[in-house]
Amino acid sequence: MSIQFGDPFEQFEDLLERAKQTELREPTAMTLATADRSGRTTIRTVLLKMFDARGFVFFTNVNSRKGRQLADNPRASLCFFWQTLFEQVLVDGTVQTVDAADADRYWSTRPRDSQFAAWASLQSEPLDSRATLEARLADFHTQFVDVDVPRPPHWSGYRVVPERIEFWRSGWQRLHERVCYERAGDAWSVALLNP
Q: Does the active-site annotation cover 44?
A: no
Catalytic residue among 65, 130, 174, 183: 174
Q: What is the band of 94 on the pLDDT scale with cuts at 50, 70, 90? A: very high
Asked if the model's pLDDT at residue 1 lies above 60, the reply is no
Dump the DSSP string for 106-122.
HHTTS-HHHHHHHHH--
Average pLDDT, the chain: 94
Inter-residue contact 178 to 193 (CB < 8 Å):
yes
**Per-residue pLDDT reduced to its tens digit, 11-48:** 999 999 999 999 999 999 999 999 999 999 999 999 99
Dump the DSSP string for 7-70.
-HHHHHHHHHHHHHTSS-S-TTEEEEEEE-TT--EEEEEEE--EEETTEEEEEEETTSHHHHHH
